[in-house]
Amino acid sequence: MTHVPDVQTTGAGAPRTVSEVTTTLTVNGEQRTVSADPRVTLLDALRDRLGLTGTKKGCDQGACGACTVHVDGKRVLACLTLAAQCEGREVATIDGLGRDGEPHPLQKAFVDHDGFQCGYCTPGQIMSAVALLEEGRTRTDVEIREFMSGNLCRCGAYPNIVAAIRQVASEGGSDARL
């Protein structure tokens, strides 16, 4: 990380120094550089600095799961993760989920089972579901609901989401690559 000082003024007009941090991330297999205040979240870096708007900002407090991404293969809430913490780590977002121009099997299953209503929570739901498949936590509907419980859907598409996950799991979805 490289620190770049920047002088700004406070509300009272007194100058203060704010340092920007240059962070190199690998996002969806591509190395990207972000210069920002060290307090910038991964969510804001992805959306505002890198233009990857598939990841949604829901509650901005870690309660809804709309901003779920993978960091080094583990699901994390991007609104609670600092971009600088991801220096040199692999970040995967919904924007890079498909392969060769084709949607990921879970994206197809969400369409098949109407696993989205308004669609706002869908990117976070799908990213959590991909992790769930990779973790092998799809043996029962109860298990799926338990491990998806951090992802809220205000439209109530939960039965359809579970059906989509079950379909991909039954087709060997744990082998589906990000």
Q: Is 130 exposed, middle or buried (0-12, 13-18, 19+ CB in 10 A)?
A: buried
Is the pLDDT at 173 greater than 80? The verdict is no
Superfamily (CATH H level) for 2-96: Beta-grasp domain (3.10.20.30)
pLDDT at 19: 87
H-only helix segments in the chain = 42-44, 105-112, 122-135, 141-147, 158-170
pLDDT at 172: 84
Domain 105-175 is found in CATH 3.30.465.10: no
Report the predicted TM-score, pTM, of the whole model to 2 decimal places: 0.86
Enumerate the domain spans of the chain: 2-96, 105-175
Is the pLDDT at 15 greater than 90? The verdict is no
Q: Are 18 and 6 in contact (CB under 8 A)?
A: yes
Which residue type sits at 102?
E
In the structure, what pLDDT confidence band is assigned to residue 95 with cuts at 50, 70 and 90? very high
d(CA 147, CA 66): 15
